[in-house]
C-alpha cells in the first residue's frame, strides 16, 4: 500500500473516529483489503494490530459460531457489490474468552467513477455498558431508550416494533427457568437473523423484545413479522424440543420529531396490547388507532401528555346523572374526563385514555380525577344528600401497589364520604391477577366503597369477572339497548343480564337510555337505575348545579 493511500486511509479513519460516539472504528481500503481498526478494539478483542490485511477474516474468527453464517453472508454481499451497507448484531469473543453483543454498522464509499474504494464503520460493544441484557446479550430496555433518544436527536425516521411472547410462564413451569432462558435466547437469535442489516434488536421487560429500524417500511415489517409468527408456531426448536410460541406485536412509524420519545413509546405499547388483547397476535400498527390521521393523533397525544405533567392543565370533568329506574329521581352521577385547548378544542377520553394507560405518567392523571371528582362530589352532596359518585378506574391504577391506600387518603383529604363512592372497573381488569383484585375489592367494601362493572357484555370475560369478584352493580352497555323497543334480541339480552346480576346479588344500571319509550320498556325488567341522554348528556359541574333533578 503506497504512502498516499495510507495517508488517505488515516484521514478518513480519523473523521470516522470523531463521530463514532464511543464505538470502535474500522476502515478498509478495498483494493488491497488493508484496514485500520481502533486501538481500543485491538486491546479488547486481542486483534493482531491496528493495521491489518484481511481484517474481515481475522474478525470472523471472533464471531460466535451461531452468528458467523449471517456475518459471512453480509460481508460477502459487500465484497460482491450486491450490498453497500452492513448493519447487524452478533456476539464477538473478547481477549478473555467471553462473548459480548456488538452492533456493527458499515458503509461502502465509492470514487467519483463509482468504483467501491473504502468500507468503513463503527462497532458498538454493548458489553462495556449497563445497557445489555444478561440473558440474551441484546441491548436492554435502557439501551432501547438511549437509542430512541438518539433517533429523535438526529431526527432519523424509522419504524419501531415491539414483539412479545404470550403465556411464557407455562414453559417455565414445565421445563424450568433455565430452559425458559434458552427459549428467550433462541428467540432473540431469530429476531437478530430476521432483522440483519435492517434493524437493531432489544430485550425489553419480561418476554418482550423491540426492533428499531431505519431501513424498513411498515409493509416490509408486516411481512417479516408474519414470517416470524408462522415460524415460531410451526418450526421453532430449542435443544431439539419443538416449541409452539404465541407472539404479539405492535409497531409505529416515527416521522414526527416535534413529539416526545415517551409519547411514541406509550403509543407503541398501546399498539402491542391491542395485538395481544384484541387481535389474537396479529400485528397492530398505531396508524390504525383511534380513527384519526396518525400525525395529528400523535401531536395531540403529545400535547395532552405534557398537560398531565403541567398539573393536569386543560383537563376537566363532566357529570352525567344516574337515575333510579322506579322513582326517576337522581341516584348519582358518573364523572367523565375531558381535555381541551385552543388548538384542538374539547377532546373525549376515547382519544387519549387508551394510550395514556400505557404511560408511566398515567397515575398522576388518575389521582387528579379521583381528587377532583370527590371535591365536586362534596358540593353536589349539599343539594343531593345520598348522591353516589361513580368514578372510572383504569387497570393501570388497579395494578399499582398501594392504590387502595391512595383512594382512602384522597377520601380523607377531600372529606368525601366513602359510602357515597362507587368505583367503576371494566372487563380489561382481567389483565390483573384475579386474586389480587378480589382482595382489593374486599378492602374497598370494608370501608363502604362500592364497585361497578362497566360495559358489561362487551368483552370476552365479563361473566367470569361477575362470577369471581364481589361486584355491587352491573352496567349494561348501550350497544345492548339501542333497539330495545323493537328488538327481541335486545329484550332477551337485558332480561338475561338482569337475571344473572340478581343471581350474583348485584344491581343493574342500563346505559344509553335516550327515549321515554326505552324507559318504559326497561321498566319491565329487573333494572335498578338508568343513565343516558334522555336525562342529560355529560355536563360540567357548574351546569349540573343549575339543573334541578329533584323534580
Residue-wise pLDDT for 45-97, tens only, equals 999 999 999 999 999 999 999 899 999 999 999 988 888 898 888 999 998 88
How many whole angstroms from its chain centre is CA 543?
Answer: 37
In which band, very low, low, confident or very high, does the pLDDT at 20 lie, cut at 50, 70 and 90?
Answer: low
CATH number of 312-546: 3.20.20.450
Distance CA 503, CA 263 (A): 44
Compare 299 and 274 and report the one with higher pLDDT.
274
Model pLDDT, residue 511: 94
What is the CATH T-level fold of the domain 1-128, as seen in this structure?
Beta-Lactamase (3.30.450)
In which band, very low, low, confident or very high, does the pLDDT at 112 lie, cut at 50, 70 and 90?
Answer: confident
Arithmetic mean of pLDDT over the chain = 88
Model pLDDT, residue 291: 46
Residues 6+ apart with CB under 8 A from 527: 325, 494, 498, 508, 509, 510
CATH 3.30.70.270 in the chain is located at 131-291
In which band, very low, low, confident or very high, does the pLDDT at 290 lie, cut at 50, 70 and 90?
Answer: very low
Model pLDDT, residue 168: 85
Where is average pLDDT lowest: 91-105, 190-204, 344-358?
A: 344-358
| pLDDT at position 173 over 90 | no
Q: And the C-alpha cell for 403?
A: 392504590
| pLDDT at position 455 over 90 | no
Where is average pLDDT lowest: 22-36, 274-288, 528-542?
A: 274-288
Q: Calculate mean pLDDT across residues 302-328.
A: 92
Q: Calculate mean pLDDT across residues 315-328.
A: 94
In which band, very low, low, confident or very high, does the pLDDT at 209 lie, cut at 50, 70 and 90?
Answer: very high
Using one digit for the tens of pLDDT, what is the confidence trace for 218-263? 999 999 999 999 999 888 888 888 888 999 999 999 988 888 888 8
CATH 3.30.450.20 in the chain is located at 1-128
Q: And the C-alpha cell for 377?
A: 362530589
Bridge partners (DSSP) listed for residue 423: 391, 451
CATH class, 131-291 region:
alpha beta
CATH 3.20.20.450 in the chain is located at 312-546
| pLDDT at position 13 over 90 | no
Q: And the C-alpha cell for 267?
A: 403509543
Where is average pLDDT lowest: 168-172, 307-311, 348-352, 466-470?
A: 168-172
Between the CA atoms of 320, 326, 330 and 332, what dihedral angle is there, to the nearest 10 degrees?
-60
pTM of the predicted structure, to 2 decimals: 0.66
Three-class SS of residue 438? Answer: helix
Amino acid at each position: 500500500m503506497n504512502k498516499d493511500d495510507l495517508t488517505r486511509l488515516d484521514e478518513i479513519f480519523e473523521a470516522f473516529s470523531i463521530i463514532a460516539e464511543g464505538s470502535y472504528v474500522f476502515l478498509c481500503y478495498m483494493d488491497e483489503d488493508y484496514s485500520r481498526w481502533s486501538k481500543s478494539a485491538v486491546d479488547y478483542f486481542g486483534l493482531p494490530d491496528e493495521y491489518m490485511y484481511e481484517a474481515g477474516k481475522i474478525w470472523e474468527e471472533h464471531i460466535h459460531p451461531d452468528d458467523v453464517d449471517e456475518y459471512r453472508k453480509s460481508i460477502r454481499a459487500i465484497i460482491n457489490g450486491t450490498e453497500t451497507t452492513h448493519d447487524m448484531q452478533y456476539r464477538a469473543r473478547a481477549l478473555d474468552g467471553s462473548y459480548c453483543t456488538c452492533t456493527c454498522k458499515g458503509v461502502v464509499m465509492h470514487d467519483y467513477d463509482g468504483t467501491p474504494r473504502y468500507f468503513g464503520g463503527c462497532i458498538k460493544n454493548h458489553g462495556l455498558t449497563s445497557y445489555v441484557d444478561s440473558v440474551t446479550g441484546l441491548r436492554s430496555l435502557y439501551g432501547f431508550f438511549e437509542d430512541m433518544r438518539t433517533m429523535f436527536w438526529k431526527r432519523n425516521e424509522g419504524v419501531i416494533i415491539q414483539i412479545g411472547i404470550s403465556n411464557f410462564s407455562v414453559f417455565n413451569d414445565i421445563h424450568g427457568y433455565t430452559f425458559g432462558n434458552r427459549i428467550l435466547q433462541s428467540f432473540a437469535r431469530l429476531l437478530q437473523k430476521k432483522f440483519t442489516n435492517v434493524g437493531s434488536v432489544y430485550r425489553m421487560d419480561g418476554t418482550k423484545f423491540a426492533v428499531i429500524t431505519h431501513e424498513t417500511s411498515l409493509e416490509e415489517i408486516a411481512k417479516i413479522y408474519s414470517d416470524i409468527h408462522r415460524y415460531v408456531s410451526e418450526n421453532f426448536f430449542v435443544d431439539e424440543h419443538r416449541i409452539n410460541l404465541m407472539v404479539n406485536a405492535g409497531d409505529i412509524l416515527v416521522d414526527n420529531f416535534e413529539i416526545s420519545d415517551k409519547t411514541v413509546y406509550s403509543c407503541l405499547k398501546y399498539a402491542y396490547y391491542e395485538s395481544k388483547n384484541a387481535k389474537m397476535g396479529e400485528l397492530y400498527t398505531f396508524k390504525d388507532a383511534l380513527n384519526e390521521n396518525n400525525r395529528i393523533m400523535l401531536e395531540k397525544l403529545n400535547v395532552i401528555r405534557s398537560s398531565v405533567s403541567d398539573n393536569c392543565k386543560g383537563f376537566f370533568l363532566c357529570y352525567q346523572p344516574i337515575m333510579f329506574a322506579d322513582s326517576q329521581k337522581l341516584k348519582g352521577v358518573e364523572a367523565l374526563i375531558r381535555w381541551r385547548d385552543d388548538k384542538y378544542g374539547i377532546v373525549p377520553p376515547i382519544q387519549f385514555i387508551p394510550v395514556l394507560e400505557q404511560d408511566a405518567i398515567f397515575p398522576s392523571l388518575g389521582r387528579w380525577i379521583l381528587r377532583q371528582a370527590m371535591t365536586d362530589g362534596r358540593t353536589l352532596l349539599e343539594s343531593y344528600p345520598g348522591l353516589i359518585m361513580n368514578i372510572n378506574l383504569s387497570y393501570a391504577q388497579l395494578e399499582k401497589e398501594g392504590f387502595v391506600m391512595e383512594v382512602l387518603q384522597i377520601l380523607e383529604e377531600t372529606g368525601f364520604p366513602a359510602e357515597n363512592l362507587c368505583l367503576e372497573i371494566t372487563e380489561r381488569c382481567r389483565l390483573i391477577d384475579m386474586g389480587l383484585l378480589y382482595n382489593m375489592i374486599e378492602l374497598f367494601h370494608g370501608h363502604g366503597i362500592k364497585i361497578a362493572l362497566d360495559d358489561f357484555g362487551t368483552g370476552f370475560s365479563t361473566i367470569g369477572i361477575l362470577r369471581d369478584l364481589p361486584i355491587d352493580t352491573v352496567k349494561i352497555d348501550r350497544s345492548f339497548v339501542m333497539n330495545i323497543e323493537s328488538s327481541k334480541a335486545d329484550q332477551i339480552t337485558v332480561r338475561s343480564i338482569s337475571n344473572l346480576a340478581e343471581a350474583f346479588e348485584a344491581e343493574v344500571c342500563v346505559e344509553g337510555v335516550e327515549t321515554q319509550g326505552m324507559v318504559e320498556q326497561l321498566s319491565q325488567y329487573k333494572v335498578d337505575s338508568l343513565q343516558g341522554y334522555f336525562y342529560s348528556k355529560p355536563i360540567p359541574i357548574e351546569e349540573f348545579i343549575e339543573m334541578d333533578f329533584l323534580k
